[in-house]
């Protein structure tokens, strides 16, 4: 069985798209997932599955949630090895001491023509970013909530992504490694 991480976007935020973690665990179990663990209500799940295609599994899981809860969330499923690689390739290790300032945006696919010039023009003087094949790294010391770069990054990169701060990424790694 493979270890996967499901990263949900837009659930349990502001009273919308409610999906209690106990319900998510039951849905994952119904799809054959095992050893399921969740982290915080905003949607992070670590599990083992014999599924070979994370993208197909993501669609299947979203459809099951739609059947049971009436909405179809965006779910990006990555393999444990991809998470380990993203952590190892962090270009801003000095930012790890302020884990809420360092964000990793996990990309659904490799961007074909990201607008790096526009991304650079939006960043504040103290912000930094790095785009790899699978991850958009953003160091925003003043927070992503006030960052024009953070707000426009997905559109300018040109592929869907879901973002997690360093603290969450490390906690997910810890859960997946157990």
Whether 63 has a pLDDT exceeding 70, the answer reads yes
178 pLDDT tier (thresholds 50, 70, 90) = low
pTM of the model as a whole: 0.93
34-56 pLDDT, tens digit per residue, is: 999 999 877 899 999 999 999 99
Nearest to 6 by CA among 83, 72, 63, 70: 83
Domain 2-82 shares a fold with domain 89-177: yes
Going edge to edge, which strands form the sheet with 44-49? 34-38, 44-49, 2-9, 74-79
99-119 pLDDT, tens digit per residue, is: 999 999 999 999 999 999 999
Count of C-beta atoms within a 10 Å radius of residue 6: 25
Domain parsing of the chain, residue ranges: 2-82, 89-177
73-96 pLDDT, tens digit per residue, is: 999 999 999 999 999 999 999 999
Q: Max alpha carbon distance in the chain (Å)?
A: 48
Task: Supply 16's token pair.
Answer: 């919308």
What pLDDT does 14 receive?
65
Which class in CATH covers the domain with range 89-177? alpha beta
| Percent of the chain topping pLDDT 90 | 87
Name the CATH superfamily, with its identifier, for domain 2-82.
SP0830-like domains (3.30.70.1280)
Task: Supply 46's token pair.
Answer: 């670590």
């Amino acid at each position: 069985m493979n270890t996967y991480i499901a990263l949900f976007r837009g659930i349990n935020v502001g009273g919308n798209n409610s999906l209690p973690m106990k319900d998510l665990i039951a849905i994952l179990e119904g799809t054959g997932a095992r050893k399921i663990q969740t982290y915080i209500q905003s949607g992070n799940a670590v599990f083992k599955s014999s599924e070979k295609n994370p993208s197909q599994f993501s669609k299947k899981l979203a459809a099951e949630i739609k059947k049971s809860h009436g909405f179809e969330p965006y779910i990006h499923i990555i393999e444990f090895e991809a998470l380990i690689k993203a952590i190892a390739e962090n270009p801003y290790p000095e930012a790890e001491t302020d884990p809420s300032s360092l964000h990793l945006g996990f990309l659904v696919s490799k961007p074909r023509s990201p607008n790096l010039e526009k991304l650079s023009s939006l960043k504040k003087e103290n912000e930094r970013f790095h785009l790899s094949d699978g991850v958009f790294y953003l160091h925003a010391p003043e927070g992503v909530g006030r960052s024009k770069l953070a707000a426009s990054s997905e559109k300018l990169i040109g592929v869907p992504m879901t973002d997690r701060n360093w603290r969450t990424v490390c906690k997910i790694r810890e859960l997946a490694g157990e």
